Every structure is written in C-alpha cells, then in structure tokens.
Amino acid sequence: MGLLSSLSVSYKNASIDLIERARPGDPDLAVRELVSCGGATEAMLLQTCNRVELYAVAEDPGALAAFAEAQCMPLYAMERAEGDECLRRLLRLAC
C-alpha cells in the first residue's frame, strides 16, 4: 500500500515567478509521467492562478520530490505533506 504525499506552492509562500516555475508545461503529460515512470500508482495535479499542488500515492515517499526535481520545479519553495496531513489538505480542497 502506497503513501499519499503532496507538494504545493501558493501565493501564501512564494512569488508569482516561483508558482509559474512549478507549473508543468503539459499538466496531463506530467501526471501520466509521474504514474508511468515516477513511481506513483495514482497522481493528481491542481493548478489555479494562485497555486500548484501535486498529489501522489507511491511506495517510495521520495518519489514525488524526485519527480518534481526532474521536472525542474522549485522544490525548495514547495510545502511537503505526507499521510494524514496530506489527506487533510486534500479534503479541505474538496469542501
């Protein structure tokens, strides 16, 4: 069973430039790549004008960070969450 984890960047903790750098050029392709070769079994990307959030379920808790780094996302500016904390963040988005 995999671990739910996320990386996010928003206007609350980053400049517009960093948010733009976190956006993949092709969001659908990025999610497919994360699942096909990034080690995730499930993935989701949320983008708005104020935020970029990437969620994944993977056996390796470092898989999402490794993927973000390979995509040249500003990992140093992104907030990380795993397990229950990640689930709480995701559920807050749904409500």
Q: From the candidates 37, 49, 72, 95, give the one annotated as an active-site residue.
A: 49
Burial degree of 46 (CB within 10 A; 0-12, 13-18, 19+): middle
Q: Helices 63-70 and 27-37 sit at what angle, rounded to 10 degrees?
A: 130
Annotated active-site residue 86? The verdict is no
Active-site annotation, residues: 49
